[in-house]
Amino acid sequence: MKSWPIADVVPHAGEMILLDSIEEVETDRIVCVKTVRAGTLFVDADGSLPAWVGVELMAQSVAAWAGCCARAEQQPVQLGFLLGTRHYSCNVDAFPAGSRLRVEAVRSFHDEHGMGVFTCRIEAPDIHADARLTVYRPRDADAFFEQIAGAPPHA
C-alpha cells in the first residue's frame, strides 16, 4: 500500500497532528514515527512528552492507517472515534526529549459497521508501551453527530 504525508491521511490539522511521518503501511498494519521535541503540543517544560499521550499517538496511527486505506480507494479521509483502550501500559512516565518513537498499529478486528480493534505499541530504546484500541468510524459523520445530539438526520 502507498504511503502519504501524515497531514494528507489524518482528519487532524496543524499542531493537533502529533505524528511526524509514516514509516510503513500494509493491508492490516501501519508504523508511524514521532520525535519528541520541545515546544510542541503536550510537551512538558523539561522537553518530555507525558506517557499518557501515547494513547493519542496510537489513535492517530490508526487514523493514518484508515486514511491510507481511503486514499488507496480514492475516497476522502473520514473522521473516526477512539472508543476506548484496554490496558494501556508504558514502562516510563514520560517519553524523553529527543526520543524517536516508533508507533505501530495492527488491525485485529474490523466489521462492516465501522467498528475496529487494533493492537498498538510504541517502541524506542528502553521504552515500550502497548494497548488495544477500540475505534469506530461511522459511514456519515455528519449524520452520526446529528443522531447523537438528538436531532433528526438531515437529507
pLDDT tens-digit readout, 17-33 = 999 999 999 999 999 99
Q: What percent of the chain has pLDDT over 70?
A: 91
- Tell how far CA 57 is from the center of its chain: 5
Report DSSP letters for 83-135, one per residue.
EEEEEEEESSSEEPTT-EEEEEEEEEEE-TTSEEEEEEEEEETTEEEEEEEEE
Task: Look up residue 14 and give its amino acid.
Answer: G
Query: Cβ–Cβ contacts within 10 Å for residue 128, how many?
Result: 12
Q: What is the pLDDT of residue 146?
A: 67
Query: Cβ–Cβ contacts within 10 Å for residue 82, how many?
Result: 16
Residue 13, judged by CB atoms within 10 A of its CB (0-12, 13-18, 19+), counts as: exposed
In the chain, where are the structural domains located? 6-148
Q: What is the pLDDT of residue 130?
A: 98
Residue whose cell numbers read 472508543: 83
Mean pLDDT of 28-41: 96
pTM, two decimal places: 0.90
Domain 6-148 coded CATH 3.10.129.10: yes
Nearest to 101 by CA among 92, 109, 110, 88: 92
Task: Look up residue 67 and give its amino acid.
Answer: G
pLDDT tens-digit readout, 52-98 = 999 999 999 999 999 999 999 999 999 899 999 989 999 999 999 99
Q: What is the pLDDT of residue 112?
A: 86
